[in-house]
Amino acid sequence: MHNQNSNFWGSLPNPLIFSDENKVISGGNFHGQPIAFAMDFLKLGIAETANIAERRIERLVNPQLNDLPPFLSPNPGLESGAMILQYSAASLVSENKTLAHPASVDSIPSSANQEDHVSMGTIAARHALQMLQNTRHVIAIELICAMQAVEFRGIDSMASQTREFYKKARNLVPSITKDRVFATDIERLANWLKNDEESEVKHKGGVLHE
């Protein structure tokens, strides 16, 4: 299982599962590099999802890129509308970019050089979780802006399924009629999106942990 130089944490079993043979073998296998790589690759996908969402937000609020009121404001020039929402999304996306740096490329020897190369998988997973939370908030911001934009264009023109989604989201967050603090709105929608994700995974028989 382990040699006499292994520390306590290194002695914990990490089973190998052979599904074809219906066999489980416990061995050392302490190095978590496969998980570290998976988490680091996952972070790239999460970062790109947030990047794309923020660019869609910019196209919704920027009057140079559409024919909607500037910043989706009900009183352009007098009130900020969704301007600060785009600021918040940009900030979260920038934070994701720093968190997306691969943790698995780093290693500092420890335990008197016994643990001479470590995977950093735990840090990679923790950063992936933070990025997932950031990205969910970016998508919540996009949803607030998209709902405001569609009201200018006409809700009646929406497809039936899209309109149903709009109605559910509007029950949680009201239209922008004047400047207000949006932190509560963003958090409410982010939690709703998270719960919806978990319901979908459970419906399909999968497992989701966060």
Domain borders along the chain are: 31-203
User: DSSP character for 69?
Assistant: P
pLDDT of amino acid 133: 97
Phi first, then psi: what are they for 58, rounded to 5°? -60, -40
**pLDDT above 70 as % of the chain:** 86
pLDDT of amino acid 70: 97
User: DSSP character for 110?
Assistant: B
Pick the CATH number of 31-203 from 3.40.50.11810, 1.20.200.10, 3.30.9.10, 1.10.10.10: 1.20.200.10
pLDDT tens string 153-162: 999 999 999 9
pLDDT of amino acid 31: 78
**pLDDT above 90 as % of the chain:** 72
Q: How far apart are CA 180 and CA 145, in angstroms?
A: 14
Q: What is the mean pLDDT of residues 119-136?
A: 96
Is residue 206's pLDDT more than 60? no
Q: What is the mean pLDDT of residues 4-17?
A: 50
Phi first, then psi: what are they for 27, rounded to 5°? -145, -175
